[in-house]
Amino acid sequence: MRQAGASFLITLFVLAFCPPGLAQPAGSGAEVEQAFAAIQPQAIRAHMSFLADDLLEGRRTGTRGYDLAAKYVAAQFETLGLEPAGSNGNYFQPVPLARMTTAEPECSLAFVRNGRKTVLQYGVDYFTSGVAENTNDTAPVVFVGFGITAPELGYDDYAGIDVRGKIVAFLAGAPSSFPHNQRAYYSDPVVKQKNLVARGAAGFLGIFTPELEQIYPWEHALQESRLPDVSWADETGRPHFVGPGAAVLSWKGAEALFAGTSHSLEEIFKNAKAGRPQSFALPVQASLRNTGRVERIESPNVAAVLRGSDPRLKEEYVVLSAHLDHVGVGEPVNGDAIYNGAYDNASGIAILLEMAKAFSRLPTAPRRSVLFLAVTGEEEGLHGSDFFAHHPTVPIGKIVADVNLDMFLMLYPFHDVVAFGAEHSSLARPVEEAAHRLGIAVIPDPIPEQVIFIRSDHYSFVQQGVPAISLMGGFETGDPAIHGRAIWDKWMQDVLHHPSDDMSQTINFDAGAQFAKLNFLISYLVAQDDKAPSWNAGDFFGEKFRPAK
């Protein structure tokens, strides 16, 4: 999972689904039972134990630990008799990456107001990361609210304001008054950067908000920003997207920016909360210098395919994806510097491997082909999956769906599920059908503020027009004394992206096996169906990304 933790109280509805008139899935129940029998809790434990071992040093993209993990996954695919589906007949698809390291002592940020200069302190007032080229800009600053232009909502933070050659400052996130989908889409920093670049802005200052501090504390963000960043590289070895010079301001840094103006930070946050667009020029010049180093590295995605059995449909693919990388070695916590990533995302890979085993045990292969994909570079921004979606090893137009697995928390027994993305396409139907068969309730997204739909690898497929889903366990534990939501919140706060996400924590492997069965059955139903999944009519993401016919 890309970073952002959680702690919000939200009333939760549990919808016990019992959809009327659903057909029996194609393929006999006996076939499915046979495949289910292949899914073993202890095998999930075995995969996770290997992948989350200290020897793999947190599987950071571009490290030996990651490469060992990739070797492991390829060996498992080969053992199952799956065909290679990487590059050149291999299981590996090398992803060219630009690794960017910020030269912190050579970076600087200062505000000049009425000839008076305020020098900001790196790490306290601001930080930067992902410096793809050295920049040195001095320009007036214009505040542009959230930095969002959403014509379909009649919302524009840039209305009537010229930012050419200026440095824009904006708040992280998107107005909470936006509908859920638009809020997710427009809070994407890349969407914001493309918008400001198109308007000719010279650089930007992102402002930490109280909302962001809640789910992703400044200190944690700062620590992660000090690790090298990566992006997939184009033919010239440069990152495929290079934004302008940028810095992230803490509240303290933002206070320095607004000091001496008639706008207090408090008032700005209040307007933002109310969803009021706001923009105004500031009587201040910013001097922003970013310096960094870029190296070219490579890190593989791992891909295998189970060929379909239908003469026509076998040309189409259901992709099952999970990220294999984690954040590596970092700041020690209680003497432990290895961020093992047991749940994030050794769990997803372990479940993917058990699903691959189940598919390979079917007496008859599913009608469509199934492509199993372990991706690199997720933690730095979905780079491995985005590279695959831009350079697919099978035609992108033949990929009918992506079912993604990211961080299944097996902290308690598994009774309900959230299907991120199901509301956008006909994939809702196999989700309901599979969950119903397994006696699992499907619940609505209880944490919309976390915009999970744009935060894992399925979104790379969505951006190429492929309907996609990613499932998360719900909070029902089956025991009123065990509070799923509280356990989940605490884990997101204390363990996500910490060294303690290792094999010593509570892991209910039976829950993992049940989750693997559910994802298997959903994918199997999609692979068997006469019709490929389709976006819902008028769906926001479908309209945005569906390829023109």
Least Å from the CB of residue 10 to Zn ion: 22
DSSP type of residue 425: B
- Which residue's CB is nearer to Zn ion, number 491 or number 545? 491
* Element housing 203 (H / E): strand 203-207
Which listed range, 1-9, 58-66, 293-301, 511-519, lies at the site for Zn ion (CB under 5 A)?
1-9
Closest CB 340 distance from Zn ion, rounded Å: 12
Query: Which of residues 256 and 342 has its CB atom nearest to Zn ion in the complex?
Result: 342
Q: How far is residue 528's CA from residue 397's CA, in Å, rounded to a whole number?
A: 18
- Nearest residue (CB) to Zn ion, 243 versus 328: 328
For 402, counting Cβ atoms within 10 Å of its Cβ (0-12 exposed, 13-18 middle, 19+ buried), the class is buried
Q: Please, what is the Cα angle at 235 between 229 and 241, to 5 degrees?
A: 45
142: contact with Zn ion by CB under 5 A: no
Q: Identify the residue whose tokens are 């999609």.
A: 526
Q: In this complex, which beta carbon is closest to Zn ion, that of residue 316 or of residue 344?
A: 344
| Cβ neighbours, 10 Å, residue 481 | 5
What is the smallest separation between the CB atom of 344 and Zn ion, expressed in angstroms?
Answer: 4
Question: Nearer Cβ to Zn ion, position 379 or 445?
Answer: 379
Comparing CB distances to Zn ion, the nearer of 359 and 420 is 420
Pick the stretch among 38-46, 203-211, 212-220, 344-352 that binds Zn ion (CB under 5 A): 344-352
Shortest Cβ 221–Zn ion spacing (Å): 14
Asked whether position 325 contacts Zn ion by CB under 5 A, the answer is no
- Provide the terminal-to-terminal Cα distance of the chain, rounded to the nearest Å: 33
Measured between alpha carbons, how far is 140 from 167 in angstroms, rounded to an integer?
6
Task: Considering only residues 373 through 432, tell me which ones interact with Zn ion, judged by CB under 5 A.
Answer: 379
344 is a site residue for Zn ion (CB under 5 A) = yes
Task: Answer yes or no: are the C-beta atoms of 79 and 47 closer than 8 Å.
Answer: no
Q: Among 27, 465, 477, 92, which residue's Cα sits nearest to residue 304?
A: 92
For Zn ion, the closer of residues 32 and 407 by Cβ is 407
Determine the distance from the C-alpha atom of residue 285 to the mean position of all C-alpha atoms in its chain, rounded to a whole number: 35
Contact 175, 272 (CB under 8 A): yes
1 interacts with Zn ion by CB under 5 A? yes
Task: Quote the DSSP letter at residue 133.
Answer: S
Please state, in angstroms and rounded to a whole number, the distance separating the CA atoms of residues 512 and 540: 32
Tell me the sheet residues that pair with 404.
321, 470
Smallest separation, CB 98 to Zn ion (Å): 20
- Least Å distance, CB 411 to Zn ion, is 16
Least separation in angstroms between CB 104 and Zn ion: 23
Pick the stretch among 185-193, 255-263, 339-347, 463-471 that binds Zn ion (CB under 5 A).
339-347
Report in angstroms how near the CB of residue 224 gets to Zn ion at its nearest.
Answer: 10
CB nearer Zn ion, residue 31 or residue 344: 344
Residues that bind Zn ion (CB under 5 A): 1, 344, 379
